[in-house]
Amino acid sequence: MITKLTLACSLFAALFVNAHTAQAADLGIGLIPDDAAFLASTLRGREQYDRIATSNAFASLKELKSVEKALDELAKQQTQPGNPMALAMMMMQMPDNQEAIALLQDMVATDTFVFGTSSWVTFSKLAKKLQSAQQAANVATITKGTDLELDTGATLNRLIAETLAANTDLIVIPDLVWGFHTTQTDAAKKQLDRIEGFATSMAQAQPMLADAVAREKIGAGDFITVTIKPDPNLIKMAMSNVVKFDDMEEELEKILKRVGELEIVVALGIVKEHVVLSIGGGTEHLQAMGSTGGSLLDTKPFKVVRDATEKPLTSIWYRSQKLAKAWETSPEDVEQAKKFATAVAEANELTPEATAEAEKLVGELLEGYASRMPEAGPWLAYSYLTDTGYAGEEWNWAKNLPWNGSMPLSFDHFGGDPLAVIALRTKTDPEQFEAFVSWANSLRQFVSNAISSTGDDDVQEGFKTFDEKIVPLGEDLTKTVREKFVPALKNGQFGFVIDGKASTTKLQASLPASSKPLPLIEPAIVLSLDDEKLFREGLSDIFALSDKLLNVIREIDEDSIPSEYRIPDPEEKDAEGGTLWTFALPESGLDKQIQLSIGIGKNAAVFSFLPEQAKRILASSPLQLEGDFSQNLAAAAILDWVAFANAIEPWATYVIRCGGVQQEKGKLDPDSTIGPDSETDEVTDALEQLATIFDVFRCLKSAVAKTSIEEDATVTRWQNRIEDLPAK
């Protein structure tokens, strides 16, 4: 009866929630200007907190001995005279402070947000340029200790200083704004007056801040502002420790002049029914908040939010297209990389022809890389409450993404009911492989012709050996990839599986045994095959190449690898649905079940650490985890959290018991067995609490996510299922 009553109350609550969903116009993000760079919003904070705080799971956690002890200690500190906690509690009991606490609780109860203005796009452009300078300096670091070595410190400092001086228009203090909906606007105004008085008295005690505090009307809001100008002298002292080049005074002055124009503004105020806090380089963005101008909520990406307001929304995230584009590889990045390649070449006295060739190689690599990178687009995600947990959607309008969602994913070779599965299908692009091969060949020829020829006899002999011994193996590998693996994997689907059906009592020889079997966490990679025969041939070619590589290494240095050593041949076995190759690991001391395994069937190949798992995956079996995956999808992920927690809990128990034995005896005996008989009273108490924690973990039953391609967006829809613990 209790169970049925609880279920009935839950269904009633769900209906009540759905009957009181907000309209789009009620969302606080309606105050945000339409040029915001990013946004994070939390909704229904009090409702979500109440769901947790009133749950049986939360009650179980509060009953843990360690939690009860901590709460008791906290209560004692609140009553001890002179204790800072006691003083804080006394301050909190004052009427004005009680009103402030109630206001803070109200502010986070229903609708909060934080957003960055368009100044973050400007700031990101500068950060991207500084990152490019850092990467260029990293290349110099790689050359350290070689004939190509540059002065790394000088390179980094100079590049950063030059970048800042050349982009002073991008030096800004980005604005970050927090907003909190409140139903207690009168209390908010009263607290704003208190803060104004406190800030004014503090500023008057500091001559430099005498005029820093102001009360002003900005846009639709009433604000207190505190304005602070950076001290150029302090900035100059800090920079002089970094930029120590006699010929860079001009760059330093440009930077200091720009910094001297900046100011930091902290603004706290009320806009309509929202308390707003802004920290940044000005207050211009506050003029637009709540005005009749364009709102972020009215923009095209937010149509998915406007269409979803009948759902009990809990969070919204957003990133603008301009912010994403600021981090894309740009033509300026290519030019900067070319310049650095030229600097390296000139520093090492390469010929003008070789310098031009180096610049061309770097340009071709970056331009090819950039052409295959995603094209920036807006990104938006939201989540909402369901009768059984949470669900949500993620919309990505970036173009040129690698995903292929033109057909359903295949789940026949994932082991039926694993702990977790991730499956993806990507676009296959043989031209990309050929472009990389062509570039690599050009790089080898450049190094051989332009650099090795300038080295001494040892350097030239090394390059000659590389060309004669290693390059032919690389050509064989390239041929195998081109003719065997690329067509065999044309489908583009691959997956990652975690299972836990195998078990062991002794994972490794140096560890004690467990009195009870411990589940082995079994990871595996699964590839969808278009041509089983070509993939088998490709693997055979790789095995043969590995033997050739050993022989070549011995020819180059006969002492590098013992003459009697060879890569062991795998053991080949027939398995249901295909063939299995296993490589034993006798020197590892691991359980004999653990062996590198490669399985190949008609439609799938699997790479695993356990032969038995590889066999299960090769044998075709339909997926038994929850979820409908019959539609066209680019990716999907499924997690059976209960089964995963069940697999982890025995290991946590084993580790705690081992810790108790080691603490008591000072060491662990590999010949011993760890079990209940090994427990001390302290360990027993810890394990009792651990059992409760895992019971709470298992309240999350499962999670599912599916990604599809819909018109101009890549859309991921996810949901998880949560069940509270039964009442005691």
Ordered DSSP codes for 569-607 = PPEEEEETTEEEEEE--GGG-B-TT--EEEEEESSEEEE
Q: 102 in the Ramachandran plot: left (φ > 0), alpha (ψ -120 to 50) or beta?
A: alpha
| Lowest-confidence pick of 255-264, 293-302, 383-392, 553-562 | 553-562
User: pLDDT tens for residues 453-483?
Assistant: 666 677 677 778 887 888 889 899 999 999 9
Confidence of residue 12 (pLDDT cuts 50, 70, 90): very low
Torsion of CA 410, 413, 418, 420, to 10 degrees: -40
**Which letter does DSSP use for residue 23 in this model?**
P
Residues 6+ apart with CB under 8 A from 454: 348, 349, 350
pLDDT bracket for residue 559 (50, 70, 90)? confident
Task: State the pLDDT confidence band at 223, using cuts at 50, 70 and 90.
Answer: very high
Q: Residue range 538-563: average pLDDT?
A: 84
Is 718's pLDDT higher than 80?
yes
Q: Are 120 and 198 in contact (CB under 8 A)?
A: no
pLDDT reported for residue 215:
93
Cα–Cα dist 346/442, whole Å:
20
The number of CA neighbours under 13 Å toward the Cβ of 658 is: 18
pLDDT of residue 15 exceeding 50: no
pLDDT of residue 7: 34
How many CA atoms lie within 13 Å of 255's alpha carbon, on the beta-carbon side? 21
pLDDT digits (tens, 9 = 90+) for 85-127: 666 777 777 788 888 899 999 999 999 999 999 999 999 999 9
Which helix (DSSP H) or strand (DSSP E) does residue 697 occupy? helix 681-697
Distance CA 340, CA 210 (A): 49
Full 3-state SS string of 441-501:
HHHHHHHHHHHHHHCCHHHHHHHHHHHHHHHHHHHHHHHHHHHHHHHHCCCCEEEEEEECC
Q: What are the structure tokens assigned to 424, written together?
A: 């993806």
When mean pLDDT is compared across 543-552, 629-638, 711-720, the lowest value belongs to 543-552
- Residue 339 pLDDT: 62
Q: Are 281 and 246 in contact (CB under 8 A)?
A: no
Angle at 684 between CA 679 and CA 685, to 5 degrees: 150
Token duo for residue 589: 């001391």
- Given a cut of 90, is residue 293 above it in pLDDT? no
For residues 266, 189, 196, 279, the Cα torsion angle rounded to the nearest 10 degrees is -10
State yes or no: pLDDT of 137 exceeds 80. no
Give, in degrees to the nearest 5, the angle at Cα 683 between 678 and 687.
110
The reported pLDDT for the residue numbered 652 is: 96
Q: What is the pLDDT of residues 226-262, one digit of tens each?
A: 998 877 777 777 666 555 656 777 888 888 888 888 9
Report which of residues 552 and 642 the model is more confident about.
Answer: 642
pLDDT in tens, 369-417: 666 778 899 999 999 999 999 999 999 999 989 999 999 999 999 999 9
**pLDDT band with cut points at 50, 70 and 90 for residue 348:** low
Q: Tell me the average pLDDT across 214-237.
A: 86
The per-residue pLDDT for 241 is 59
pLDDT of 303 reads 95
What secondary structure does DSSP assign to 41-82, as a single string? EEE-HHHHHHHHHTSHHHHHHHTSHHHHHHHHHHHHHHHSTT
Quickly state the pLDDT bin for 20 (edges 50, 70, 90): very low
pLDDT band (50, 70, 90) for residue 284: very high
Rounded to 5°, the CA angle 283-288-293 comes to: 165
H or E stretch including 389?
strand 389-396
Q: Between the CA of residue 588 and those of 514, 594, 596, what are the distances in Å?
A: 19, 10, 12
* Domain spans in the chain, listed from the N-terminal domain onward: 400-424+493-526+581-711
| Higher pLDDT pick, 220 / 132 | 220
What is residue 527's predicted lDDT score, i.e. its pLDDT? 95
DSSP string, 226-248: EEE---HHHHHHHHHTT---GGG
Residue 563 confidence class, pLDDT cut points 50, 70, 90: confident
d(CA 157, CA 133): 9
Neighbours of 374 (CB within 10 A): 14
